[in-house]
Every structure is written in C-alpha cells, then in structure tokens.
Amino acid sequence: METTNYESNEDEVVEEVVEETTEEPTEESEEETTVDWEARALKAERAIEKSKKKAKDAPKKEAPATDDAVLSRLETRGVMEADDQNYVLRFAKAEGISPIEALSDPIVIDRMKANEKARTSVDATPRSNNRANTTQDEVAVAVKKFEQSGVLPDGNPALTAKILKRLSGRG
C-alpha cells in the first residue's frame, strides 16, 4: 500500500512516498513455529508424566489425625459433642486459623447455639416405652378381663354382645 504525504514549505513542495510492507510468512517461519509448538507440547507431556510418576512414588500423606490435645482444649472450653468439635475443626482449617480462635468467630458461635438448641429439643421429645400410645381394641381388652375374672361389664349391653360374639366365634 502506498501513501503519499505532502509537506509544504513556503517555497517548495516535497512529495514523499512511504511504502508499507506487510511481512508474509515464509515457508521457513511456518516450519519453525510448528517445531516450536511441537517441542513445547512434548516438553509439557514429559512434565505431566514426571509429576504423575512422582505422585505415585511419593508416600501418600494421610489426613492428620486430630490431636488429642486439641480435642481436650475444645472440651475444656465447653465443646463436648463430636459434631461440634468436627465443625470447629473444619471451620478452623478452612479459615486457616487455630480451633481455639475459631471458637470466638460469630459463625461458629451461632452454629454451636443452634446445635445445642436442636439437642435440647431432641432430649425433650418422649421416646417409645411400654406405655406407648398404641390403641387397643376395647373388645379384646374386655375379652381378656372376662377370661381372667369371668365378669362381664355392667351398663354396656353393646360391649357385652360383642364380647359374647367373639367368645362364641372361638368355639
């Protein structure tokens, strides 16, 4: 592409021709970039293979066991439940702080209060026992009573009829 620039002085006009050249890639430069890319790809593949071998050869580090001293320090500060202790340890690890520092964090405090409230609620809920709310058939109870004592209920002719019908059905 040619561009013409005119400079004007008072007496003469100078015409300057500037040629812009665009470099077209030659066959040699294309081959060089291909070789560079191939070399880089091979180098990256070797690095990946080395890291895989190192990972296999290196002994695997197990998750650090929770130190008894840390757990006893948490228990000293009132964190007795295993769920709460696990939460504090996970939070401390995620935040990069010590578990004791994590106990003063508002998020941990709220979580501990919520867990305590849930445990209190569960403790207050009645559990099953031999006096559970099971419905018993009134006729079955009256039949058992009649078999033990031989006395029919007074004042309830419908129940008496049902008891006699059930006893006659046994034959």
The pLDDT of residue 105: 92
Q: Answer whether residue 148 shows pLDDT above 80.
A: yes
Average pLDDT estimate for 50-65 = 66
Cα 133 versus chain centre, distance? 38
| Each residue's pLDDT tens digit, 106-141 | 999 999 999 888 888 877 777 666 665 666 778 888
Would you list the domain boundaries of the chain?
68-124, 138-166
Q: Based on C-alpha coordinates, what's the Rg of the chain?
A: 45
Overall pTM > 0.75: no
| Each residue's pLDDT tens digit, 60-104 | 554 455 678 888 888 888 888 888 989 999 999 999 998 989 999
